[in-house]
Amino acid sequence: MAQRWHVLLLSLAAISLWGTPGGVSGSGLYSPNDQVTIVNGGNFDRIIFNSSNAWLVEFYAAWCGYCIDFAPTWKALAYNIKEWKPAVSLAVVNCANPKNSNICRRFSVLKYPTMKFFKAFSKPTFKGKHFENHGAASNVSSLRHSIIDSLEEHDENMWPPACPPLEPISMAEVQNFYAGNNVQYLALIVEQENSYLGREVILDMLQYENISVRRVLNNEENLMMTLGVREIPSCYLYFADNTHRKITVKMPTRTFYTYYLQRLPGVTRGAYKLSPAGATLMPTEQPWRDFNSARIYMADLESALYYSFNVEVATHQELSGESLTALRRFIRVLTKYFPGRPFVMKLLQITNSWLAKVGTTPISYADFANVLHNKNGSTEALFPNKANWVGCQGSRPQFRGYPCSIWTLFHLLTVQAAKYNQSMAQRTEIQTEPREVLNTLRQYVKYFFGCRECATHFEAMAAESMDQVSSLNEAIMWLWSRHNRVNNRLAGAQSEDPRFPKIQWPPPDLCVECHNEVEGAHLWVKDEVLKFLKVHYSPQNIDYSYLEGLQELLKKQKPKKITQQEQQKDGPEEGERGIEEAERQRKYGQAPVTIEEQRDTSVAIKGIRRDASQRRTFIKRRHVSKGEEDIVDLDLFVSEQYRRQALKENAEIRRGSLVNDGVYRLQMHLQSIDDSESLDYAVLQSRLQKQGIGNGHLVAIAEGKNWLHLLGVNLSRTDISLCILLYFLSTLCLLSMYLYFKSRFHWRKWKIRFASA
């Protein structure tokens, strides 16, 4: 009785939507993303009849309560047998749409849902075979078995061309198999006669090449003896040299056997046939990198950031409003949870601080790029300058890459957030917001992800159930389940890499405990899945292979061009340094200093650079031939000498330093500024000669070396003049005091003599 009221309420709710645009238009209960084909009165004959594959069509009404209850089962069935499409496909017709009333009447649909099976190459006069196993009480396993039964009813002459044979194989056929078949593997599923395991695996492997799967019945005694079968069901690989090998899996079920066979070396999905004619399977532009699928690679994670910031975000000339907020949140989450290398994290922190200062003020992408590319020249803060896929590399340049790496990054962030919250909970009572990462990813995908159709699908999934996430562990599992849903939707699409087909993840070889099967239906052991995800997406599982070190990245950076505007922004000290650099280039015609040289020099001469308030020391000489005053900037020359010496020592130390994770750690030992031997007088003489100053003008510098050494190179002529003036005034003061006391003494002496007289 309760079930009847439940159905009645669902029916009334659906009827109330009859007048809505969605109800009239026939959008119904299904979409093309559900692995089903939506047919109507206009395309039914063209799609269903004379087709090389069989069709199972559901006739339903969007307002029908039973149809609403049955829709999840039908969708699950479509996902479950998506590999069977070349042999049999699923379709739906919404009879609630007035445009489909003729087609539903034509096939005598009197109740909902009604399912009819259309064999391959059926003619328009065929009304379809009534499919008995249907209704809300049906399950995926029973429907799958009924489909196999219907397929086997095909006549030999009308058999679907893409469907492999489903009948058992004999001993004679096995022995002569390789004589007429050009494949690498023959997989034999040993089972009982009433078992559907072998036929399901055969259809699961339908789209895979270089392998053939056949079933062996337990009454085939000779073949059973040859294989040495001891348990049923079981699976064996039979090779061209008449040898065989048993396949060992956790459970002898369809899920484990199918996955094992799909991963055999040389076995590939035939999806590449969907590519344009004449296209061949080409390698990627970069050499192939061997990788371990059980690890995640920092190269992929950093490549995701590179592509995201330099390609996806770069499509926005201006960032304002919600797009700026989405970017700011994304950077903040990365700064908080991303376990990156030190120089990557430093630049993320700089970018995050800058965006926090900007607030809601609109910015251009150029401004963002200047910070992202470290135009201010902060020490050891940068991103990689190109994409470098490893675990996400594809068999062709257009496969995998960024979509694979961004999913990996998303999973990593959800796991890191959970671990961060667990760590903080032990010290404080502050709890991380459960949907912090998910909401950030949702906004990023909405505003920046380049595939707009993919972004629409993700937004639909988020709107459906993301608000129901109430813990960080649920956030991890939500993203995992939605990723698998996307894999289901894209399985067999042209974007699928034939070398890396879309699967339900994690596969059995990575987490055997995550899988189970009950009554022929696959089940996830979600507690084990959560444990696996937390281990797999942990910093301890990150592989740092194929990464460029800090010094290699610094060498590839473009030299920083100093402009007057940048000098003003840098402040007094940085501005003066920029002016000095520009003056040096103007005077001596030297090439600009690269960022690496500036960074090394800034470390090398730290503590000997002049303060902005200090004045330069100049030596002025009269130029005889031109009759004008030439000025030699001795301070600048000294700084250049120490700069050259520091760079030389830095290079020597770098060659002898140790490498840790690709990052050079430099230790520099500098000489004192008072070391007079650091002055290269030969170089100074050559520069004076370039300005037309003779050798005699160098005498003053050579003769003045000692007093410059005593007084310091930072004293100017004015400073020396002031010292002389103060010395003269102090001398006058002492002389005046001497004369005063002397006169007082003589006056007292004469006064005594006068009094005595």
Q: How far apart are CA 284 and CA 288, in angstroms?
A: 7
Crossing angle for the helix pair 681-690 and 634-656, to the nearest 10 degrees: 130
DSSP tag of 310:
I
Catalytic residue among 67, 163, 392, 511: 67
Token pair of 62 as six digits: 């969007």
What radius of gyration do the chain's Cα atoms show? 40
Q: How far apart are CA 226 and CA 560, in angstroms?
A: 74
Catalytic residue among 64, 104, 163, 392: 64
Token pair of 469 as six digits: 């996430």
Classify residue 118 as exposed, middle or buried by CB count within 10 Å of its CB (0-12, 13-18, 19+): buried
Residues of the chain by 3-state class (helix, strand, coil), percent to 5: 50, 10, 40
Q: What is the DSSP string of 488-503?
A: HHHTTSTTSBTTB---
DSSP tag of 295:
S
Q: How far apart are CA 152 and CA 167, in angstroms?
A: 9
Could you tell me if 232 and 191 are in contact, meaning their C-beta atoms sit under 8 angstroms apart?
Answer: yes
Measured in degrees and rounded to the nearest 5, phi and psi for residue 190 equal: -90, 125
Q: How far apart are CA 559 and CA 551, in angstroms?
A: 14
Q: How far apart are CA 47 and CA 85, in angstroms?
A: 13
Which has the closest alpha carbon to 331: 289, 372, 392?
372
Q: Which 3 state secondary structure label does DSSP give 238?
A: strand
Q: What is the DSSP string of 446-480?
A: HHH-S-HHHHHHHHHHHHHHGGG--SHHHHHHHHH
Beta bridge partners of 522: 517
Could you tell me if 352 and 338 are in contact, meaning their C-beta atoms sit under 8 angstroms apart?
Answer: no
Active site residue 64: yes
Please name the amino acid found at residue 755: A
Distant-in-sequence, close-in-space partners of 406: CB < 8 Å, separation ≥ 6 = 304, 307, 308, 449
DSSP tag of 163:
S
Cα-to-chain-centroid distance, residue 599: 29
Sign of the alpha-carbon dihedral angle for 72, 74, 75, 80 = positive
Active site residue 514: no
Looking at the annotation, which residues are catalytic? 64, 67
